[in-house]
């Protein structure tokens, strides 16, 4: 938010001190800086990022529990843990939760927290809108999960094909909750995307050209562009489904002359770019982590940037590879088959760049580095099975079997989830001022790696042995007896899920041990990893205003170049230490900007967000609720528009820097 100093001869605009009795529209801004109100009404991108993260982690555990119940059901022949109907609800909600309520918002947590810091800004472009997107996501996720207690959750699978999704085959309200819940979370994604796109394009610090932007911000930027175009597609599809189910429309009804394949096209035109929305942020995270722990710059930065953008583009042209068995005809199948193979190229470029970044480096195997390398290995395995799907004749064998389930868990869990965990360990000291335990971190990593391969590896074999996905019992498919049959591999996969669960639990233990009352974990030093990108030039945790002085950027890896001087000749770089990270940060503090402006907290984002689930319950239960929700929304929008631009407390002159306290810091 650029500050334009008011010329001395222009009189200040005096905002009248509102008195409650004089004007309905004038509400004072909340001023609490501590307690629950300082979180509920905050517009600070860092606090919003942390709340995205906590909520997404909660939903990860919910989605993991659902997966555990699925694997428990399939661990033995003729399982009785879940009925057929409950099983359908379980995998539908597992997938929906993991995709829309865990991976997407966790990536939003990182983007919200780090994009302003990486581009040298004090906050995002629209702070109140940012708070709105957070609360809309949280209320949308809660709304969706209340279906478990209100007649049953959605049961048609995460891509909810018609006519299975119609009231005839899915009579409970579950699918209505699904269609409305995803429309609500879609608003959060769209509002968030617009906010971050404007932040990247308009809020970069002086000198921060697009090709000097840290790679995570680049990948997150590509993701926001994908969201901008993908979310409207699924929103239209969900709208049609809502009107088909709640208001008797026939958009997907064969008997009315419509075509159920319309839903499949709409869903996958969104659905395939969606998989890049899931994995590109993690690609960005490990592209930050690998150079730091290899003590080398990222190999081929421009290639990593443009291969990410290329994936973003080509990803729009492959959707029908999810429909190879739906009778599209040879020409379409051939075109989408070739396009799908083509998308392996920019993905391969990334894997080569990561490998060459590590190659010849001085490797430091921290937990963050292990997770980053884990992503390269596990994602590549998933990518290879993906290429086998691109070959339409073999996909006709594989589609709808456990081989497919194996594939997308290797790319999503092996890609997106491992990347997010690399981000936790890498940026934890920046966000919370403490390092997570490396010992517990190694347990976390190895148990997750062993667990995921034991869980998802055998699924390739189960699929090739003929086990279809989404079947609550597998005894009907006992193809090929002998020892290594469906029974054996299902048991291994379910035992693997336990190992995986323990691995994920180790992360929670690590957080508890590091932050519990009386914890002996020391404060992290300012620059624990000898990092490279700009966010490390703020304090840990960053101050509310991020930077005391708006940074002037001269280079890609600005923080690295502030610390090291290149005394080498030409391309033969030879870096000598000029100043430590802590000294660079202190230098910034000594030269603080004269005046800093920050956005003030606001009541209205959370109130406006609450109006949406009220209206959604209205669509399912009673039109009066729609009216009530709309009234709350209108009132909130008026309050938002009429509240004072900024309350005094958020305007301040930065205090002089604290004298060095000699606080004891953790040894890294």
Contact set with ligand HEM (CB under 6 A): 64, 67, 70-71, 91-92, 94-95, 98-99, 103, 157-158, 405, 409, 412-413, 417, 455, 469-470, 497, 500
Site stretch for Cu ion (CB under 5 A), options 148-156, 268-276, 407-415, 566-574: 268-276
95 makes contact, choosing from Cu ion, ligand HEM, none, with CB < 5 to 8 Å by partner type, with ligand HEM
Residue 90 CB, nearest approach to ligand HEM (Å): 8
- Would you list the DSSP string of 537-572? GS-SSPBTTB-SSPPPP-STTHHHHHHEEE-SBTTB
For 590, the token pair is 């000594």
User: Does residue 245 bind Cu ion (CB under 5 A)?
Assistant: no
d(CA 128, CA 636): 12
| Token couple for 93 | 């909600």
Minimum gap (Å) between residue 244 Cβ and ligand HEM: 20
Closest CA to 207 of 562, 513, 526: 562
Q: Which does 157 bind (CB under 5 to 8 A by kind): ligand HEM, Cu ion, none?
A: ligand HEM
Cα separation, 369 vs 376, whole angstroms: 11
DSSP run (H or E) holding 576? strand 575-577
Tokens of 497: 């899920």
Nearer to ligand HEM, 67 or 200 (CB): 67
Site size toward Cu ion, by CB under 5 A? 1
Closer to ligand HEM at the Cβ: 103 or 534? 103
Stretch that binds Cu ion, among 57-65, 241-249, 270-278, 652-660 (CB under 5 A): 270-278
- Both tokens of 524, joined, read 């992290």
Query: For ligand HEM, which is the closer residue by CB, 380 or 580?
Result: 380
- Closer CB to ligand HEM, 280 or 609, in the complex: 280
CB 143 within 8 A of CB 61: no
Q: Is 389 in the site for Cu ion (CB under 5 A)?
A: no
Smallest distance, Å, CB 507 to ligand HEM? Answer: 12
d(CA 567, CA 562): 14
CA 657 to chain CA centroid, nearest Å? 35
CB under 5 to 8 A by kind: which of ligand HEM, Cu ion, none does 412 bind?
ligand HEM
Question: 119 and 143 in contact (C-beta within 8 Å)?
Answer: no
Identify which of residues 166 and 533 has a Cβ nearer to ligand HEM in the complex: 166
Query: Shortest Cβ distance from residue 96 to ligand HEM (Å)?
Result: 8
| CB-nearer residue toward ligand HEM: 94 or 322 | 94
Is it true that the peptide bond before 174 is cis, omega within 30 degrees of 0? no
For ligand HEM, the closer of residues 67 and 124 by Cβ is 67
Say which residues have a Cβ less than 8 Å from residue 181's Cβ, sequence separation at least 6.
140, 141, 143, 144, 147, 616
CB 522 within 8 A of CB 664: yes
272 contacts which partner out of ligand HEM, Cu ion, none, CB within 5 to 8 A by kind?
Cu ion
The three-class DSSP label of residue 414 is: helix
Whole-number minimum distance, CB 234 to ligand HEM, in Å?
14
Rounded to whole angstroms, the Cα distance separating 106 from 134 reads 11
Shortest Cβ 483–ligand HEM spacing (Å): 22
Nearest CB to ligand HEM, comparing residues 67 and 435: 67
Q: Specify the residue, 193 or 405, whose C-beta has the smaller distance to ligand HEM.
A: 405
What helix, strand, coil percent values describe the chain, rounded to 5? Answer: 65, 5, 35
- Output 64 or 273, the one with its CB closest to ligand HEM: 64
Q: Report the residue closest to Cu ion, judged by CB.
A: 272
Residue 366 in tokens = 């921290």
Under rule CB under 5 A, which residues in 13-72 are in contact with Cu ion?
none
CB of 385 to Cu ion, least distance (A): 13
Q: Could you tell me the smallest distance in angstroms from the CB atom of residue 62 to ligand HEM?
A: 11
- Cα–Cα distances in angstroms (integers) from residue 490 to residues 79, 337, 456, 460, in the given order: 11, 31, 10, 11
Identify what 409 binds: Cu ion, ligand HEM, none; CB under 5 to 8 Å per kind. Answer: ligand HEM
Choice between 95 and 115, CB closer to ligand HEM:
95
Residue 314 touches which of Cu ion, ligand HEM, none (Cβ within 5-8 Å per kind): none
Residue 216's binding partner out of Cu ion, ligand HEM, none, with CB under 5 to 8 Å set by partner kind:
none
- When the beta carbons of 24 and 169 are compared against ligand HEM, the nearer one is 169
CA distances from 68 to 80, 81, 141, 160, 335 (A): 14, 11, 20, 22, 38
Largest CA distance in the chain: 91
- 3-state secondary structure at position 213: coil
Q: Closest approach of Cβ 500 to ligand HEM, in Å?
A: 6
- The continuous run of DSSP H or E covering 652 comes out as strand 651-652
CA 369 to chain centre: 20
Radius of gyration of the chain (CA): 26
Segment contacting Cu ion by CB under 5 A, of 44-52, 68-76, 161-169, 265-273: 265-273
Q: Which listed residue (45, 47, 204, 272) binds Cu ion by CB under 5 A?
A: 272
Q: Which is nearer to Cu ion, 148 or 316 (by Cβ)?
A: 316
Nearest distance from residue 310's CB to ligand HEM, in Å? Answer: 23
Give the shortest CB-189-to-Cu ion separation in angstroms. Answer: 19
Angle between helices 215-246 and 261-294 (to 10 degrees): 160
Where residue 120 falls (left for φ over 0; alpha for ψ -120 to 50; beta otherwise) is left
Q: Which does residue 165 bind out of Cu ion, ligand HEM, none, counting CB within 5 to 8 angstroms by kind?
A: none
Host H or E run for residue 285: helix 261-294
Stretch that binds Cu ion, among 226-234, 271-279, 433-441, 486-494 (CB under 5 A): 271-279
158 binds, among ligand HEM, Cu ion, none (CB under 5 to 8 A by kind): ligand HEM
Nearest approach, Cβ of residue 386 and Cu ion (Å): 8
Question: Least Å distance between CB 405 and ligand HEM?
Answer: 5
405 or 636: whose CB is closer to ligand HEM? 405
* Residue 612, H or E segment: helix 604-620
Q: How far is CA 234 from CA 52, 60, 318, 383, 509, in A?
A: 22, 22, 16, 25, 38
Sign of the C-alpha dihedral computed for residues 481, 487, 492 and 497 taken in this order: positive
C-alpha 331/C-alpha 15 separation (Å) is 66
Least CB distance from residue 124 to ligand HEM, whole Å? 25
Residue 413 touches which of Cu ion, ligand HEM, none (Cβ within 5-8 Å per kind): ligand HEM
Measured from the CB atom, the residue of 223 and 449 that comes closer to Cu ion is: 223
Q: Closest distance between Cu ion and the C-beta of residue 100, in Å?
A: 17
Residues that bind Cu ion (CB under 5 A): 272
């Amino acid at each position: 938010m650029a500050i334009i100093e008011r010329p001395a001869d222009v009189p200040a605009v005096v905002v009248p001190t509102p008195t409650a009795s004089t004007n309905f529209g004038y509400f004072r801004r909340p001023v609490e800086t501590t307690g629950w109100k300082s979180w509920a009404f905050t517009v600070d991108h860092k606090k919003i990022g942390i709340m995205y993260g906590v909520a997404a982690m909660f939903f990860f555990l919910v989605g993991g529990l659902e997966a555990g119940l699925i694997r428990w059901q399939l661990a033995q022949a003729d399982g009785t843990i879940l009925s057929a109907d409950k099983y359908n609800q379980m995998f539908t909600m597992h997938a929906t939760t993991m995709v829309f309520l865990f991976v997407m918002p966790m990536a939003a947590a990182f983007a919200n927290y780090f994009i302003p810091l990486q581009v040298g800004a004090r906050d995002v472009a629209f702070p109140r809108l940012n708070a709105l997107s957070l609360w809309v996501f949280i209320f949308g996720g809660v709304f969706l999960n209340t279906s478990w207690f209100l007649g049953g959750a959605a049961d048609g699978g995460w891509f909810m094909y018609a006519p299975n999704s119609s009231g005839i085959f899915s009579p409970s309200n579950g699918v209505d909750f699904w269609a409305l819940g995803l429309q609500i979370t879609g608003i959060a994604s769209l509002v968030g995307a617009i906010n971050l796109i404007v932040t990247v394009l308009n809020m970069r610090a002086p000198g921060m050209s697009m090709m000097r932007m840290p790679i995570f911000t680049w990948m997150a930027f590509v993701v926001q562009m994908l969201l901008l175009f993908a979310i409207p597609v699924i929103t239209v599809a969900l709208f049609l489904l809502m009107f088909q189910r709640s208001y008797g429309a026939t958009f997907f009804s064969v008997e009315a002359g419509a075509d159920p394949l319309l839903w499949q096209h709409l869903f996958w035109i969104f659905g395939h770019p969606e998989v890049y929305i899931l994995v590109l942020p993690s690609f960005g995270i490990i592209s930050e982590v690998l150079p730091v722990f290899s003590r080398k710059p990222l190999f081929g930065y421009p290639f990593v940037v443009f291969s990410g953008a290329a994936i973003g583009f080509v990803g729009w042209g492959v959707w029908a590879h999810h429909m190879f068995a739906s009778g599209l005809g040879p020409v379409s199948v051939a075109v989408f088959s070739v396009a799908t193979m083509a998308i392996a190229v920019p993905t391969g470029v990334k894997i080569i760049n990561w490998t060459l970044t590590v190659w010849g480096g001085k490797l430091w195997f921290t937990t963050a580095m292990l997770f980053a390398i884990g992503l390269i290995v596990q994602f590549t395995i998933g990518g290879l099975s993906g290429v086998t799907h691109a070959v339409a004749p073999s996909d006709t064998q594989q589609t709808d079997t456990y081989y497919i389930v194996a594939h997308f868990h290797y790319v999503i869990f092996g890609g997106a989830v491992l990347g997010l965990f690399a981000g936790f360990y890498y940026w934890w000291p920046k966000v919370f001022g403490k390092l997570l335990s490396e010992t517990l971190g190694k347990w976390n990593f190895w148990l997750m790696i062993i667990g995921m391969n034991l869980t998802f590896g055998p699924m390739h074999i189960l699929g090739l042995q003929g086990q279809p996905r989404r079947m609550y019992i597998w005894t009907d498919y006992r193809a090929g007896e002998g020892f290594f049959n469906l029974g054996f591999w299902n048991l291994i996969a379910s035992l693997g899920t336990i190992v995986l669960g323990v691995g994920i639990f180790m992360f929670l233990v690590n957080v508890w041990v590091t932050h519990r009352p009386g914890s002996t974990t020391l404060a992290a030093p300012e620059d624990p990893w000898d990092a490279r990108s700009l966010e490390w030039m703020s304090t840990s945790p960053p101050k509310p205003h991020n930077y005391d002085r708006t940074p002037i950027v001269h280079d890609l890896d600005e923080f690295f170049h502030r610390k090291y001087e290149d005394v080498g000749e030409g391309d033969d770089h030879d870096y000598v230490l000029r100043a430590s990270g802590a000294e660079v940060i202190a230098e910034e503090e000594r030269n603080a900007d004269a005046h800093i402006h920050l956005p003030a907290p606001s009541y209205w984002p959370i109130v406006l967000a609450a109006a949406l689930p009220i209206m959604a319950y209205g669509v399912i239960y009673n039109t009066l609720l729609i009216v009530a929700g709309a009234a709350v929304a209108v009132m909130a929008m008026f309050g938002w528009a009429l509240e004072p631009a900024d309350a005094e407390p958020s305007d301040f002159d930065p205090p002089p820097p604290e004298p060095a306290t000699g606080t004891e810091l953790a040894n890294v």
